[in-house]
Chains A and B, each alone.
Chain A
Amino acid sequence: MDKIMSIEGITKSFGGIKAVDNVSFFVKKGEIKALIGPNGAGKTTLFNIITKLYSKDSGKVFFMGKDTENYKSYELVKYGISRTFQNIQLIDDMSILENVMLGYHIKTKTTAIDAFFSLPKNKKQEDKAKEKAMETLKFLKIDSISDKYPNEIPFGYKRLVEIARALCVQPELLLLDEPAAGLNESETNKLLKTIFRIWEQGISILLIEHDMNLVMNCSHSIVVMDEGRKIAEGLPSYIQNDERVLKAYFGK
């Protein structure tokens, strides 16, 4: 059992309120792990701590056995962690293809000099990025929209483009932040299949999700958070019947 990421005792408060309170769990290599919980449970805060957008008060995050304490937010993708955003973060004045190419940024080695003088290396690297981006779009079956701009495509596609952009670098671990938010039922079903196909490529996945159905159907194990604390962890079948979870979710 190989841990790809382990989270140990993360705590974070905002102005006296503990948004995340001593949360620990780990993601196994090659599994789909879901992090669920009602609104305000601290899931997104935890995500932002993992991705270094927030600082934490205490605790540690290990990735592939290494302490990530000194990693900078922009270095994570280099180490193999890639993410999507809940509130879509596509760049409006770039085409879908360019947006996905942005995801491939660190794998291209063009220097500023190459770029200013448009040297052959620049073109070579651009072609490589384009090819990779196209490949990823094809894999997600949305290559037909590569020339469009974000405001020209439906919402469901934007979610997929977000995933394509994060997937383009072939990360070890993919973090999905509420990928089903705002999707209808058939789109959610498609998303479910897509997540499985990504997983089949050997990429571990940690996803935050609200949609219980999606989570129950796609994840290997689930962590449940409520009011900043981890209240349960286990297999979907176990979580489904856990009293504390039902209480947190349905107030029973």
Chain B
Amino acid sequence: MSQKTFLLVLFLVVMVVGLFIKNPFILNMLSLAALSVIVVIGLNLLLGFAGQISLGHAGFVALGAYISSILAIRLNINPWLSILIAVLVSSAFGALIGYPTLKLKSHYLAMATLAIGEIIHSIANNYVDLTGGPQGLAGMPMLSIFGFMLDNETKFYFFIWSLTFLLILLSINFVNSRFGRAYKAIKSKENAALAFGINVHLYKVFIFTVSVFYASLAGAIYAFYLGFISPSSFGLTQSIEYVVMVVIGGMGSFFGVFFTSVILTILPNLLTSLEDYWPIANGLLLILAMMFMPNGLKGLFKWIK
């Protein structure tokens, strides 16, 4: 089965599921899963294809969420325009951070993004006038499409999943072009990439920017969906969670990371009593994956070409 056929099947399944589920709690959980999928698909481009790791993706999600919310609440800018500005500003910021660090070995990006994530988190916590501090921000207006308000869980479910599938489709297109080949070369044989005319540094900065784009877009939509954001949703733990989703799903495998991010978003919501044990589980998953299954669940999806 081709990637796009499978994507279509998956899309239809998700749409049908949406028609039958009426429970708002479940719909909410699934919509949040879609937002995770967007972040993780973006991170997968970076980690799975270019071999670069970000430990601050929750920070970029926060950046999208906070900038768009502040624009909408404080300056009364139209929600979609706020989202657009937030995503562009965040992506530009990503490029600015990526430019110096991506010249260096991959642990520099890891540490720099970790630091950025912590900085964003600490600004969100401390700069109360702008961000509302630990209490967070509330009162973001509801999103509407062509005058059609996304005012209940079902409507939002269809909107967010359609967007998610569109973004997956775009990513699949992208990696099936000459760029996909270039990134695979960059990841495994950098010298070969250079020898065949690929400006490795620029390519890395580009894909990092794209992945920040995905993260901040998800963050901005999240803010308008919930109408409330607070720093606690965007900490280091969440950044690591995204990395776990990519690693376990199989770096470079769109469907692998799709399923792991859906499952790993839903599970903690169902098993809230085990909250304290999630970091341990995440740590173990990463360690075990590196010891025994560096490709995660990629193998399960081999039949999709």
Contacts and interface: CB of A to CB of B under 8 A. Distances in A.
A250 interface: no
A216 interface: no
B196 A106 contact: yes
A87 to B, nearest CB: 10
Interface stretch (B10-18, B171-179, B223-231, B284-292): B171-179
Interface string B103-139: 0000000000000000000000000000000000000
A75 B197 contact: yes
B196 A112 contact: no
Contact of A53 (B182, B188, B194, B206): B194
Interface string A75-94: 11110001101000111111
Given A91-B184, A116-B170, A78 B197 contact: yes
B194 A73 contact: yes
A77 to B, nearest CB: 4
Contacts of B182: 102, 105
B189 A105 contact: no
A115 B177 contact: yes
B184 A93 contact: yes
Interface string A83-122: 1010001111110001001110110101010111110001
Interface size, B (range): 20 to 34
A136 interface: no
A165 interface: yes
Given A98-B181, A110-B177, A122-B177, A117 B170 contact: yes
Contacts of B233: none
A106 B192 contact: no
Nearest to A108: B178
A49 B136 CA distance: 56
A101 B179 contact: no
A74 B194 contact: yes
A201 B289 CA distance: 49
Contacts of B206: 112
B191 A53 contact: yes
A191 B197 CA distance: 26
Chain A CB within 10 A, most for which of B178, B184, B191: B178
In this complex, the interface size class of chain A, counting residues with CB under 8 Å from chain B, is 35 or more
Q: What secondary structure prevails in chain B residues at the interface with A?
A: helix
A98 B179 CA distance: 12
A170 to B, nearest CB: 13
Contact of B178 (A52, A105, A166): A105
A110 B178 contact: yes
B196 A85 contact: no
A153 B170 CA distance: 33
Given A76-B195, A83-B195, A91-B192, A116 B184 contact: no
A74 B181 contact: no
A101 B178 contact: yes
A126 to B, nearest CB: 7
B88 interface: no
Contacts of B177: 110, 114-115, 118, 122, 126
A39 interface: no
B200 interface: yes
B185 A115 contact: no
A51 B188 CA distance: 19
Interface in A141-160: none
A232 B252 CA distance: 50
A166 B182 CA distance: 15
B264 interface: no
Contact of A103 (B171, B176, B196): B196
Given A75-B197, A115-B173, 20 more contacts: A51-B195, A73-B194, A74-B194, A89-B195, A90-B189, A90-B192, A91-B181, A93-B184, A93-B188, A94-B181, A102-B196, A105-B181, A112-B174, A112-B179, A115-B177, A116-B171, A117-B170, A118-B176, A118-B177, A165-B196
Interface of A: 51-53, 72-78, 82-83, 85, 89-94, 98, 101-103, 105-106, 108, 110, 112, 114-118, 122, 125-126, 129, 165-166, 169
10 contacts: A76-B197, A82-B195, A82-B196, A89-B189, A91-B192, A93-B188, A94-B184, A103-B196, A110-B178, A166-B195
Leading 3 A-B pairs by shortest Cβ distance: A115-B177, A106-B197, A89-B192
